[in-house]
Amino acid sequence: MKTCLIVYSDYYKDISKSLLKGSINILKKNNIKYELHRIDGSFEIPQLINIKLKSKKYCAALALGCIIKGQTPHFDFISSSISNSIMDLSIKYSLPIANGVLNCLNKKQAKLRSSSKKNKGAEAAKALLSVLKYLK
């Protein structure tokens, strides 16, 4: 089996670490190999996914990161752009790409959504697996 690409932003290092832990646990439980690539900001995640998928060595990709709303509309533009780009890439490459980039109103919400109780990284990995089974 090919490898699952994981591209993550570590702008919020504690959040990213928890999302990674949740997603990697799910992939390991399902015997899925993975390759990690770190990037500084969430906006760049789709760009790196596009670059890496050109190699055709991946069976899927997982995007992980966190965006927290500030005082400007920046949050809305970045969140929308990332979601749309991930879907476009999934269609372009005919591969499942799970969106585990959190869009949160505050740090407290981000911590909850990356915790062991409600880990969106794990949920994104499960969603990825649910699509991967159709490709076998």
Q: What is the secondary structure of 52-84 as a DSSP string?
A: HHTT--EEEEEEEEEEE--SSTHHHHHHHHHHH
The answer to whether 9 and 39 have CB atoms below 8 angstroms apart is yes
Q: Is 74 a catalytic residue?
A: yes
Backbone angles phi, psi at 64, to 5 degrees: -130, 135
Measured CA distances, 34 to 3, 26, 37, 62, 113 (Å)? 5, 11, 10, 10, 22
Distance CA 55, CA 107 (A): 36
Q: Which of 74, 92, 108, 118 is catalytic?
A: 74
The answer to whether 45 and 101 have CB atoms below 8 angstroms apart is yes
- The catalytic residues are 74
